[in-house]
A and B are shown apart, each in its own frame.
Chain A
Amino acid sequence: MTEQRRARPLSPHLQVYDLPLAARISILHRITGTALSGGIILLVYWLWALASGPESYQQAQAILGSWLGLLILLGFSFALFLHLCHGIRHLIWDMSAGLDKSSAASSNIWIIILTLGLTALSWGLGFGLA
């Protein structure tokens, strides 16, 4: 009885199931989407500071330019590009393309490469290196 029970397949309990990469990226899509929605507050704050005059704008730029501000912006840029790249995969999937296992495995890698590459490129552009 116990032997038979042990042989039965387990349903994928989140605590014990080793999620495939595509599933991890899929969960990150939701998390980054939620985080980026919070970024609306930051964007509207920046617009408020700009509309309120030079002093408040300089204060906002100083906050965003501090190491903590830059770290938050780095996080937002990474989240933005991950959400963008995975979002584009969703749009391709909507057209019934790339849905098989091997295509999903290679698009996983492309998402990671493009996310890191675009994040680095945007910061290179921001610092005037590109």
Chain B
Amino acid sequence: MDYRTPLARARGLGASHDGTQHFIALRLTSWLLVPLTLWFVITLAYLAHSDYAQVMTWFKQPINAILFISFLLTMIWHASLGLQVIIEDYFHSELLKMLALMVLRATIALFAISGLYFIVRVTLTGSLFMTGAA
């Protein structure tokens, strides 16, 4: 017996209005993060021995910078999706939940943009683009 209205049945979204996309994105980022995390740990173990100049040179290799950005953004996206579930589970006031989700998204965006900006800055330091500034 389906108690939903015909319109609700046609929309097929349930009580929370969304979720499938969130579920798929969380799984997709999980799969991507398995190799990326292993790469990241090996990278950190390697960079732990390096001084400033060596780390800067390491970031100048396109493959290194691209993989670092891939890890950073995938991981931050995954963290955002995970923290969203925790907020939705534990905030029982609809208003507080919405506010917390907005704060989460803004904070996550700030860290993603900052991290990306710093990596780009590191990769361009000493290059043609930044000869004036450096």
Contacts and interface: CB of A to CB of B under 8 A. Distances in A.
Interface string B45-80: 110110011011001000000000000100110010
A43 B115 CA distance: 8
A59 B49 CA distance: 15
Nearest to B110: A44
Interface residues of A, number: 28
27 contacts: A33-B82, A33-B83, A34-B82, A34-B83, A34-B86, A40-B115, A43-B115, A44-B115, A44-B118, A47-B115, A47-B122, A48-B114, A50-B122, A51-B121, A51-B122, A51-B125, A57-B52, A80-B41, A84-B34, A87-B34, A91-B27, A91-B31, A122-B41, A125-B42, A125-B45, A125-B46, A128-B49
Contacts of A90: 30
Contacts of B1: none
B100 interface: no
A66 interface: no
Interface majority SS (helix, strand, loop, mixed), chain A? helix
A22 interface: no
Contacts of A33: 79, 82-83, 86
Contacts of B44: 126
Nearest to A54: B52
Given A36-B79, A41-B111, 5 more contacts: A33-B83, A37-B79, A51-B119, A84-B34, A128-B49
B76 A40 contact: yes
Nearest to A77: B41
Contacts of B37: 80, 84
